[in-house]
Amino acid sequence: MNRKKFITTAIGAGLASSLIYKYLNPDSAISSASSETDILKQNKNLSLKAAASNVRKLYGTAISENVVQDINYANLISRECSVAVTEGAFKWIVIEPSPGQFNFAPADQAIKFCAMNHIKLRGHTLVWHMAKPDSLSYPPPLADIQRHFNGVMGRYRQNQTLYSWDIINEVVADRPEEAEDEYGLRKGVKREYVRDIFQIATGIDSSKEFAINDYGCEDTGWKQEKFLNLIKYLKKSGVKLDTVGLQSHMWFSKSYAWNETGFKNFLAQLKSIGVKPIITELDILIDNPLPKTISELDLMVADNYKRYLDACFTGGVDTILTWGLSDKYSWLRHPDYIPKKLLASKDFIRPLPYDANLQPKLARNAILQSFVNANIHI
């Protein structure tokens, strides 16, 4: 399936290349596992959204048109989530496929679903190089930005369900050779351009939270450095930038350890700059060598959920969104996006809190326990 078609049908997720990026530091010592006692605790009576609310936090999921038509899944979202993000409904190629021709139906449907279920909604995303009409250059000229932002942001200016906009998504290059200049943004994109589109957004609707969203910044390295420099530049320029979205499509392995200390330092730096980090697209895969059984895999996934979320809450994160609730609808199970290294082990792609039959897994327990314990980090 063509990637653009995949996005247009609002089934897809963030960025396929995130599958090959190691969010882990192989030079670190493998940290000890979280307490299995916590992970094995089962509390079906306490919803994830209630556990989050108890410590003044939000939990939610990505939603799309096709999954909310599954009544059992929709009910699960309603029970577990206080916040949601659309997979495709607000992306340029969907909402304005040709200049001045807007298709608000998918976005309106998402807002209606969220309003009916008392769920806050993030508007994702106004600008993304992977989700634009073929006729539109990247970065889009500011005249096109003005028209697009006026049309989309203007329509939802008074809406109380939609509370946040991802102004731009994945603007930092993955590596130096892909960058426009020493500042590390994608080819054609200058820092001043990013500043300008935030200023355009502010002129249309400053009542919403404004975010910049990216992947691959969770681990210490070149991309994280360039991402931090961009955030510092934008804040120093005086633009309205409230939150930083960390996608968090994560890989963990027995063979190399996650650099937890580096991640906590990163969150501390964001806080010192004056922006709030949130987790926007979390899912967890286990890298080779795979465990022998699904039960072992589920325990590894759960353990890493808890370690990651515990670190997030220590670092001031107050919003967690997984990229789906159930493995049934995970983008990582779609034939076009199954990681090559897991093609022979598709049953081991279990990255979300519920299994394909909408039954809770240990990952849900881990998320719940992280919220329950998060009060010590407030």
What is the spatial distance between Cα 286 and Cα 303, in angstroms, rounded to a whole number? 11
The letter for the amino acid at 216 is G
Cβ proximity of 67 and 305 under 8 Å: no
Residue 107 belongs to what domain range?
A: 3-377
**Structural domains of the chain, count:** 1
pTM: 0.91
Q: What is the CATH number of the domain that holds 149?
A: 3.20.20.80
Each residue's pLDDT, cut to its tens digit, for the chain (378 residues) gives 333 444 444 433 333 333 333 334 333 333 344 456 677 777 778 999 999 999 999 999 999 988 888 999 999 999 999 999 999 999 999 999 999 999 999 999 999 999 999 999 999 999 999 999 999 999 999 999 999 999 999 999 999 999 999 999 999 999 999 999 999 999 999 999 999 999 999 999 999 999 999 999 999 999 999 999 999 999 999 999 999 999 999 999 988 889 999 999 999 999 999 999 999 999 999 999 999 999 999 999 999 999 999 999 999 999 999 999 999 999 999 999 999 889 888 999 999 999 999 999 999 999 999 999 997 554
Number of residues written out for the chain: 378
Cβ proximity of 172 and 129 under 8 Å: no
Residues 224, 331, 302, CA angle at the centre, nearest 5°? 70
Cβ proximity of 87 and 60 under 8 Å: no
